[in-house]
Chains A and B, each alone.
Chain A
Amino acid sequence: EVQLLESGGGLVQPGGSLRLSCAASGFTFSSSDMNWVRQVPGRGLEWVSDINPAGGNIFYADSVKGRFTISRDNSKNTLYLQMNSLRVEDTAVYYCAKDLTGWGCFDYWGQGTLVTVSS
C-alpha cells in the first residue's frame, strides 16, 4: 500500500524557517517524480515544486523560488521541502504527491501538514 506521510509543519514567525519531510512507502520511491502542493485553508490548490527521481531536475513556483528548496534522499525514501524567509502568505497545508508519469499525474497524496506563519 502506497503511503506518504508529511511532517514538520507548525507555527513559525515571518522570516523564519521550517523543513517539511514526506516519508514514502509502498512504491519504488527512487523511480518516482515527487511534488509539493499547498492549499491555503478554504482556498484552492497551488503547485509548489517538483523533483525528478535522481534529484537533478527541479522546478519551483515563482512564489517560492529562491526561498524554498526541494530535495530527496532516495536511501531514506524521503522527500523534503526546506522553507526559508517564510511569509504570512505561505500559511497553508502542504501536501506531498507522487507523480505516476512525471507529467503532473499525482496518483497518491499525503494527508498534508499545516504550516502557519504568524507573529
Chain B
Amino acid sequence: DVVMTQTPLSLSVTPGQPASISCKSSQSLLHSDGKTYLYWYLQRPGQPPQLLIYEVSKRLSGVPDRFSGSGSGTDFTLKISRVEAEDAGLYYCMQSIQFPRIFGQGTKLEIK
C-alpha cells in the first residue's frame, strides 16, 4: 500500500499569515494517463471532510483562491496564502492512484 506522510502534524498561524503543509507518498502518484492522483481535504470541527484540491493543484469550484496545491511525483504541498479564521481544522492529503485509497495522518491547523 502507498504510505502518505504529512508534515507538520500541527501548526498555529496568525490570521493573514501564510501556511504550508507537506505531503509525501511512498510511491509516485503519477498515473500512466498523465494525471497525478493527489487530493487535499479539510475537515472543520464537527463537520464531514470537504474537498479542496484535486489532482494536485485543481481547486474545486467554490474553494477560495488563497488555497493552492503544488508538487509532483511523491512530494506535494498545500499552501494557504493568507490564513483566515474559517480555515481552522484538520487537513488531509489522499492518494487514489491505487486501491486502497490512503489518507495522510492529518495536519491540525490552529488559528492564533
Contact = CB atoms under 8 A, between A and B. Distances in A.
B17 interface: no
Contacts of B55: 105
A110 B48 contact: yes
Listed residue (A44, A62, A104) with the most chain B CB atoms within 10 angstroms of its CB: A104
B105 A44 contact: yes
Contacts of A103: 35, 37, 96
A95 interface: yes
Given A104-B96, A107-B60, A50 B48 contact: no
Contact of A50 (B39, B101, B103): B101
B100 A62 contact: yes
Given A50-B99, A59-B99, A104 B39 contact: yes
B51 interface: yes
Interface in B23-40: 35, 37, 39
A50 B37 CA distance: 16
Nearest to B43: A45
Contacts of B103: 44-47
Given A44-B103, A47-B103, A59-B99, A106 B37 contact: no
B48 A109 contact: yes
Nearest to B50: A109
Given A45-B43, A59-B99, A112-B48, 18 more contacts: A37-B49, A44-B90, A45-B94, A45-B106, A46-B103, A47-B102, A101-B54, A103-B35, A103-B37, A103-B96, A104-B37, A104-B39, A104-B96, A105-B39, A106-B41, A106-B51, A109-B48, A109-B49
